[in-house]
């Protein structure tokens, strides 16, 4: 369907390097990454905006469109910022797009009513686009983009700046579009958003594509520290295993464990922050007990979260019902115990 | 805290006072001129065929110059707002040149290219008229000195239209011509209209360049100058008052049009 090969773009100080993506027909593909990683530029390059600054190729349905101008690509791009035409009403915005592709007034009308019904825009059609909310803007943008009959749509942060109720509605619209067979390439900085929508996803960082996988695999087997952090894992460490029973995290912290993977020498390690035991007093018995200093303490939906320096910084989440340290206890000495079941080892790829 | 606040107020008072003086500086001569003109002298000037003809000539030549030049000036403004090219700064400077050179010198320069010996002069000769001393020549002189107002305003207007909107229109399948006429131009229209008004107003008030190209037929600024030279202040003043009034009327009317238009665009 869409195939991007060795795409590089140089724009001033920023560069996209050697990007390769393949999106299958009918697939919902999400490109995730923090702000500034080059996601928007990648989408805009695929749509044809930077075609004079690009090297590499873009194929759509097998045809090389790398040199085709924006208007001929049949790639519908929903920009991150509001690109509704401010001098036109909602209806005129959608019609602008329809009339470029359909000559017959009756067809324009029927397509307009179909789109407006689909995106719940009937009450908004007469409105000026300058009075719409974030969610309404996105719905009109989606309708206007679909009106141009694209082969694939590219969505640039469609849920950013939208309140949570509207967000759920928009996600439903997006899933319905996906179910109707539309191919979607969606860009977001939010892992949860990617996880809830994607068939497959890729993570981008500093102009490079790091890793492509199904969302479940991305979450359960993060390929590196950056991806682990991006997926929301608190404690991801590179580790070295010795003699099938010892594991050294980041060359600093040694754990005693029983795990088949310890026969490999290099593994990645995830430690579940909720399963780490925390104590203000030194526990009398047990393995894997470390003394540390509290670096930070804050509230999280799962409880109270502590960042503790035990030689490496490690996050611990404790139930709020426990007597928890107040912020005055920053820099105080505490103890943690890392039980066997908190540790998950991942084969390094 | 309270004391500090009072100090700021005092400072603002000074700013207001100084600003007020400048406003007074603009208003005082005009008001003085108006107050020293008797209704009888104004009425006499209004019924003077020479005066009304010159006002009509001034309005039409300036309007004509503005309209003709807009055909090329608006595209030029668009290119300046959107494209980066070598020597762009030089081109920008060139556009502002008519504002900084003495207008009599501009008149001399224009005379050189529209006189009977020049190509445009010869072309006009084949059509049976002489550009020098002709309304067409007046239009050329007016256009030369007032063009920067239109180009600069239109360029700023185009620059304010986000390029994103043009990309979005192209992405939907619009050709460049459709993007320009249906998205960019309507969105920049307010600034362009403003520029047209400024160019028109500036053209109407031109004296220096026009007087060298065409003493006759007489545009109003030249008529005022002539009456002042030949008959003195009291004869020149009523014409001046009427002409200022006409200029203001057009200026205010056209400004209101821009405001109406923008309100329409917003709603």
* Tally of domains within chain A: 2
Last residue of a domain, one of A194, A224, A254: A224
Q: Does A229 fall in a domain?
A: no
Find the CB nearest B168 among A73, A75, A79: A79
Contact A101 B173 (CB under 8 A): yes
Q: What is the pLDDT of residues B181-190, one digit of tens each?
A: 999 999 999 8
List residues in chain A touching B: CB distance below 8 A. Answer: 44, 47-49, 69-73, 75-77, 79, 81, 83, 85-87, 96-97, 100-101, 128, 130, 144-145, 147-148
Q: What is the pLDDT of residues B174-230, one digit of tens each?
A: 999 999 999 999 999 989 999 999 999 999 999 999 999 999 899 999 999 999 999
Q: Does A314 fall in a domain?
A: yes
Residue labelled with tokens 């003086």: B21
Comparing A298-312, B24-38, B240-254, the range with the smallest average pLDDT is A298-312
pLDDT: which is higher, A45 or A349: A45
Residues from chain A contacting residue B168 (CB–CB below 8 Å): 77, 79, 83, 85
Contact B265 A147 (CB under 8 A): no
Q: Are B148 and B208 in contact (CB under 8 A)?
A: no
- CATH number of domain containing A63: 3.40.50.300
Closest-CA residue of B relative to A80 is B164
pLDDT band at B264 (very low <50, low <70, confident <90, very high): very low
Contact B168 A77 (CB under 8 A): yes
| CB proximity list for A116: less than 8 A, separation 6 or greater | A94, A122, A125, A143
Residues from chain B contacting residue A128 (CB–CB below 8 Å): 266-267
Closest by CA position to A278, among listed A256, A310, A250, A301 = A310
B168 touches chain A (CB under 8 A): yes
Range of the domain at A19: 2-224
CA distance B207 to B204: 9
B264 touches chain A (CB under 8 A): no
Contact A77 B173 (CB under 8 A): no
Residues A67 and A210 in one domain: yes
**pLDDT of amino acid B26:** 94
CA distance A328 to A107: 69
**Ramachandran sector of residue A206 (left: φ over 0; alpha: ψ -120 to 50; beta: rest):** left
Tell me the average pLDDT across A139-148: 95
Closest by CA position to B190, among listed B156, B235, B216 = B156
Q: What is the pLDDT of residues B129-155, one digit of tens each?
A: 899 999 999 999 999 999 999 999 999
User: How many angstroms separate the CA of residue A87 from the nearest CA in chain B?
Assistant: 5
CA distance A248 to A41: 40
Q: Does A124 fall in a domain?
A: yes
Q: What is the pLDDT of residues A244-258, one digit of tens each?
A: 788 888 888 888 887
Q: Is the pLDDT of residue B172 over 60?
A: yes
List of domains in chain B: 41-266 (1.10.3720.10)
pLDDT band at B267 (very low <50, low <70, confident <90, very high): very low
Residue labelled with tokens 């009398």: A284
- CATH number of domain containing A247: 2.40.50.100
Phi, psi of A61, deg, nearest 5: 50, 40
pLDDT band at A100 (very low <50, low <70, confident <90, very high): very high
Q: Is the pLDDT of residue A107 over 60?
A: yes
Tell me the average pLDDT across A3-30: 91
Tell me what the pLDDT averaged over chain A comes to: 89
pLDDT band at B266 (very low <50, low <70, confident <90, very high): very low
Q: What is the pLDDT of residues B52-72, one digit of tens each?
A: 999 999 999 999 999 999 999
Q: Does A109 fall in a domain?
A: yes
| DSSP per position, A177-223 | HHHTT-EEEEEES-HHHHHHH-SEEEEEETTEEEEEE-HHHHHHS-S
């Amino acid at each position: 369907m869409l195939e991007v090969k060795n795409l590089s773009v140089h724009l001033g100080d920023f560069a996209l390097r050697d990007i390769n993506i393949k999106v299958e027909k009918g697939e919902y593909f999400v490109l995730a990454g923090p702000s500034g990683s080059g996601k928007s530029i990648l989408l805009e390059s695929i749509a044809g905006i930077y075609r004079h600054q690009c090297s590499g190729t873009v194929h759509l349905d097998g045809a090389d469109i790398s040199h085709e101008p924006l208007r001929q690509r049949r790639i519908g791009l929903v920009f991150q910022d509001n690109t509704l035409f401010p001098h036109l009403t909602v209806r005129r915005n959608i019609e602008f797009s329809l009339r470029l592709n359909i000559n017959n007034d009756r067809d324009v009308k029927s397509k307009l009513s179909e789109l407006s019904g689909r995106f719940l825009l009937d009450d908004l059609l007469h409105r000026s686009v300058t009075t719409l909310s974030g969610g309404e803007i996105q719905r009109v943008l989606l309708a206007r983009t679909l009106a141009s009959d694209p082969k694939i749509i590219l969505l640039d942060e469609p849920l950013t700046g939208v309140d949570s109720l509207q967000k759920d509605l928009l996600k439903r619209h997006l899933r319905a579009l996906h179910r109707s067979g539309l191919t979607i390439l969606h860009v977001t900085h939010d892992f949860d958003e990617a996880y809830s929508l994607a068939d497959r996803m890729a993570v981008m960082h500093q102009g490079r594509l790091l890793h492509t996988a199904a969302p479940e695999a991305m979450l359960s087997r993060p390929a590196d520290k950056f991806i682990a952090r991006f997926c929301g894992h608190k404690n991801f460490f590179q580790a070295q295993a010795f003699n099938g029973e010892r594991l050294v995290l980041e060359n600093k912290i040694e754990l005693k464990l029983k795990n088949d993977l310890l026969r490999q020498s290099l593994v990645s390690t995830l430690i579940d922050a909720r399963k780490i035991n925390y104590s203000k007093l030194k526990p009398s018995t047990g393995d894997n007990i470390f003394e540390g200093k509290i670096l930070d303490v804050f509230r999280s939906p799962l409880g109270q979260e502590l960042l503790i320096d035990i030689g490496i910084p490690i996050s611990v989440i404790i139930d709020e019902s426990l007597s928890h340290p107040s912020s005055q206890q920053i820099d105080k000495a505490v103890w943690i115990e890392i039980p066997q079941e908190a540790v998950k080892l991942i084969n390094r790829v | 805290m309270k004391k500090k606040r009072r100090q700021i107020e005092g400072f603002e008072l000074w700013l207001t006072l100084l600003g007020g003086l400048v406003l007074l500086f603009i208003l005082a001569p005009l008001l003085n001129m108006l107050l020293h003109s008797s209704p009888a002298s104004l009425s006499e000037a209004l019924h003077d065929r020479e005066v009304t003809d010159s006002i009509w000539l001034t309005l039409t030549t300036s309007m004509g110059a503005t309209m003709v030049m807009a055909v090329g000036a608006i595209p030029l403004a668009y290119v300046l707002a959107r494209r980066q090219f070598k020597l762009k700064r030089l081109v920008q400077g060139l556009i502002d040149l008519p504002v900084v050179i003495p207008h009599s010198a501009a008149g001399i320069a224009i005379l050189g290219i529209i006189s009977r010996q020049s190509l445009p002069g010869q072309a006009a000769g084949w059509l049976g008229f002489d550009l020098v001393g002709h309304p067409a020549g007046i239009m050329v002189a007016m256009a030369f000195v007032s063009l920067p107002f239109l180009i600069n305003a239109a360029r700023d207007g185009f620059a304010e239209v986000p390029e994103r909107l043009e990309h979005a229109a192209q992405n939907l399948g619009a050709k460049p011509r459709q993007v320009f006429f249906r998205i960019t131009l309507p969105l920049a229209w307010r600034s362009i209209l403003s520029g047209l008004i400024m160019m028109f107003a500036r053209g109407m008030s031109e004296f220096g360049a026009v007087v060298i190209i065409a003493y006759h037929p007489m545009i109003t600024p030249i008529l005022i100058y002539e009456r002042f030279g030949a008959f003195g202040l009291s004869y020149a003043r009523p014409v001046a008052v009427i002409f200022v009034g006409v200029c203001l009327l057009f200026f205010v009317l056209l400004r209101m049009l821009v405001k109406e238009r923008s309100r329409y665009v917003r709603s």
